[in-house]
Amino acid sequence: MRSPLLNKLSVIFGPRPPVSWLLLCFVSVLALIAVFGSSSSNSFDSVTSTPVPEIFTNYRRLKEQAAVDYFELRTILSGSSRQRELGLCGKERENYVPCYNVTANLISGFKDGEEFDRRCEVPRQGSWCLVRPPKDYKIPLRWPAGRDVIWSGNIKITKDQFLSSGGVTKRIMLLEENQIAFHPEDGLIFDGVKDYSRQIAEMLGLGSDSELFQAGVRTVLDIGCGFGSFGAHLVSLKLMTLCIAAYEATGSQVQLALERGLPAMIGNFISRQLPYPSLSFDMVHCAQCGIVWDKKEGIFLIEIDRLLKPGGYFVLTSPTILLLSRMILSSGRKQPMLIAILLTRRTMYLFAKKDMMHPIIRPWYHVLLELPANAGFLFRTGVSPEDFFEDLQVWKLALKNYWSLLTPLIFSDHPKRPGDEDPLPPFNMVRNVMDMNAHYGGLNAAFLEERKLVWVMNVVPVRAHNTLPLILDRGFLGALHDWCEPFPTYPRTYDLLHANGLLSHLTSERCGLMELFIEMDRILRPEGWVVLSDKLGVIELARAHATQIRWDARVIDLQNGSDERLLVCQKPFLKK
């Protein structure tokens, strides 16, 4: 679609106007604007009611308009109009996860399980396109109803796969027409989730699982989380529980958990460390998660030990681990854990970690290695108390501004659907948020202080200052990630993506912004939101990319005298 500026120039000069005339017109337009112009405003131009002198406001708007005009003129002079919108990918890529291609990995020579690892270095599929939702995709139900009832058409599991998955599965999940209902009380093999959680608490010497948070268990890594019932229960207890499981082409545990609005990401124990620093979690849980823990001389247990905080717990549930328990009980250099054991009908073990320290890591590309016996490292992020407090205040104000912008947009763009109750932001449309450049986790903290019922995936770029240990120590979830590569999750994962300063950071990297926007479109659910904060020039470039991938985009002046702008976008529900 041609811009108004292009149409006017085409009428006067024909389809390809001379460069000299274009430059003359550009200078003339700026002169006329400077003398006579004043910009009109609308309800989305400002996020604050602070009065600003009219002259200064007009001058700032003139600068912004001049930058936009220059951007369009530069496009004209290059001999082309705005780039075309990207097409939709084929049906075979509806659940496409980059960097997980077993066939390509086998051809490249990977074996012994390493073909299932994340391999971004292996060439990926061809041209740019937008991953479209499945034919029967529906917007997820609002939280908390969407935690226990999902649309069966939103995940890659067929009715035949469901019916052939065994009695336990059918007891946990009830398939009714186009919905799957979860019954959390039947979430584990013998007893319900609440009883199972209570037994773990009793092993810690607690009266009930409601005391886990007070006992210091705030963050839990749930390996091979099944259908997410245990994680859903822990989340209800205010424990931040992250599910990780290996990539699965169909019936994925991670995809199911995310569709329920629960924290999850793809991660597996094969040959590489997980993208979390040492001492990240208070508890690691595995209930028949399919990992052979004594394989490779216990190297997987070393990874568990690296991830656990001092005094943390490893809960392992399996009927066939007596030999493994004896191996760990023998302790030794390779298994630096103390163990308390309780045998139940499931054969449950609780491993209590010693006060061990391990060094920080870079994600994905460090192989699993045995750590030296004297490994010790104390995290120091170099964050001053003043910076920390200031960051919290900034994000408290920013969140209020964001919500004042999004609330009218949600109401205007999403009329009440039949059968829905009146929408009450933030519960209506947003269940999870990815902060793509999380810094200290200030946005996450602001959500909690405002009592918004959302969880945040705090992502720290690998080339930024590594503040992830600080974020995790605050009891939040997060991961290290290189944004020149895809994020390890399934399509249509997040309701809201946020990034502050990330675009400027990536303009100096080896990757382009278009690749980032295509990846953001892949992981953002239809009708989801994007809020980007950056400098004016980068924001205008980002708006062009957003238009190319069919997002509705608005640039918002912060009215604070800086050249910082917000880009607020919404992804449409594309059907074919």
Which candidate, 275, 326, 327, 338, places its Cα nearest to that of 303? 275
pLDDT classification of 429: cutoffs 50, 70, 90:
low
Q: Do 365 and 396 reside in the same domain of the chain?
A: no
Burial class (CB in 10 A: 0-12, 13-18, 19+), 562: exposed
Q: Do 317 and 402 reside in the same domain of the chain?
A: no
**pLDDT reported for residue 3:** 47
Strand partners, 314: 284, 351
Sequence-distant (≥ 6) Cβ neighbours of residue 79 within 8 angstroms: 16
Mean pLDDT value across residues 557-573: 88
Taking only the tens place, the pLDDT of each residue in 282-328 is 999 998 888 888 777 778 888 998 999 988 898 988 766 555 555 55
Q: How many domains does the chain have?
A: 2
Q: Considering only residues 186 and 291, tell me which one the structure prediction assigns the higher pLDDT.
A: 291
Sign (positive or negative) of CA dihedral 157, 162, 165, 170: positive
Q: Do 439 and 344 reside in the same domain of the chain?
A: no
Mean pLDDT value across residues 59-66: 47
Could you give the angle at the alpha carbon of 78 between the alpha carbons of 73 and 81, nearest 5°?
Answer: 70
Helix (H, G, I), strand (E, B) or coil at 76: helix
Residue 432 in domain: yes
Mean pLDDT value across residues 531-551: 94
Mean pLDDT value across residues 474-494: 94
Q: Do 237 and 297 reside in the same domain of the chain?
A: yes
Q: Do 434 and 554 reside in the same domain of the chain?
A: yes
Q: What is the DSSP string of 33-97?
A: HHHH------TTS-S------HHHHHHHHHHHHHHHHHHHHHHHHTT--SPPPPPBPPGGGTT--
Taking only the tens place, the pLDDT of each residue in 451-476 is 888 899 999 999 888 899 999 999 99
pLDDT classification of 178: cutoffs 50, 70, 90:
confident
Taking only the tens place, the pLDDT of each residue in 225-258 is 888 888 989 998 989 999 999 888 777 889 989 9
Q: Do 280 and 311 reside in the same domain of the chain?
A: yes
Taking only the tens place, the pLDDT of each residue in 500-540 is 999 998 876 677 899 999 999 999 999 899 999 999 999 99
Confidence check: pLDDT of 381 > 70: no
For residue 269, what is the domain's CATH number?
3.40.50.150
Task: Identify whether the C-beta of residue 146 lies closer than 8 Å to the C-beta of residue 261.
Answer: yes
Identify the DSSP state of 575: -
Mean pLDDT value across residues 109-134: 79
Q: Minimum mean pLDDT among 126-135, 149-158, 221-230, 412-421: which range?
A: 412-421
Residue with tokens 């609002």: 142
Mean pLDDT of all residues belonging to the chain: 75
Residue 421 in domain: no
**pLDDT reported for residue 103:** 79
> What distances in angstroms separate CA 489 from CA 259, 402, 526, one per listed residue?
12, 25, 16
**pLDDT reported for residue 225:** 86
Q: Do 364 and 392 reside in the same domain of the chain?
A: no
Identify the DSSP state of 154: G
Mean pLDDT value across residues 159-165: 58
Mean pLDDT value across residues 2-21: 46
Task: Identify whether the C-beta of residue 262 lies closer than 8 Å to the C-beta of residue 148.
Answer: no
**pLDDT reported for residue 562:** 84
Confidence check: pLDDT of 48 > 50: no
Task: Give residue 314's domain range.
Answer: 185-369
Q: How far apart are CA 50 and CA 425, in angstroms?
A: 25
Mean pLDDT value across residues 253-266: 92
Q: How far apart are CA 450 and CA 79, in angstroms?
A: 50
pLDDT classification of 110: cutoffs 50, 70, 90:
confident
Residue 37 in domain: no
**pLDDT reported for residue 337:** 44
Give the E-state strand segments of 413-506 in sequence order. Answer: 432-435, 455-461, 477-481, 494-500
Q: How far apart are CA 558 and CA 552, in angstroms?
A: 19
Helix (H, G, I), strand (E, B) or coil at 433: strand
Q: Do 271 and 398 reside in the same domain of the chain?
A: no
> What distances in angstroms separate CA 191 from CA 313, 364, 428, one per listed residue?
21, 36, 33
Give the E-state strand segments of 441-545 in sequence order. Answer: 455-461, 477-481, 494-500, 524-535
Confidence check: pLDDT of 549 > 90: yes
Mean pLDDT value across residues 169-197: 67
Torsion of CA 120, 123, 127, 131, to 10 degrees: -40
Residue 241 in domain: yes
Q: Do 336 and 390 reside in the same domain of the chain?
A: no
Three state DSSP letters for 176-198: ECCEEEECHHHCCCCCCHHHHHH
Residue 503 in domain: yes
Task: Identify whether the C-beta of residue 534 lies closer than 8 Å to the C-beta of residue 497.
Answer: no
Residue 84 in domain: no
Q: Do 302 and 242 reside in the same domain of the chain?
A: yes
Span between the terminal Cα atoms of the chain, in Å:
20
Residue 131 in domain: no
Q: Do 349 and 401 reside in the same domain of the chain?
A: no
Task: Identify whether the C-beta of residue 348 lies closer than 8 Å to the C-beta of residue 315.
Answer: yes
Mean pLDDT value across residues 168-197: 66
Share of the chain above pLDDT 70, in %: 65
Mean pLDDT value across residues 415-433: 56
Which candidate, 526, 530, 528, 514, places its Cα nearest to that of 576? 526
Q: Do 478 and 433 reside in the same domain of the chain?
A: yes
Residue 543 in domain: yes
The number of angstroms, rounded, from the C-alpha of 83 to the middle of its chain's C-alpha atoms is: 28
Of 339, 369, 399, which residue is a domain's last?
369
Q: Which two tokens stand for residue 536?
A: 């004016």
Task: State the pTM of this model.
Answer: 0.78
Helix (H, G, I), strand (E, B) or coil at 63: helix
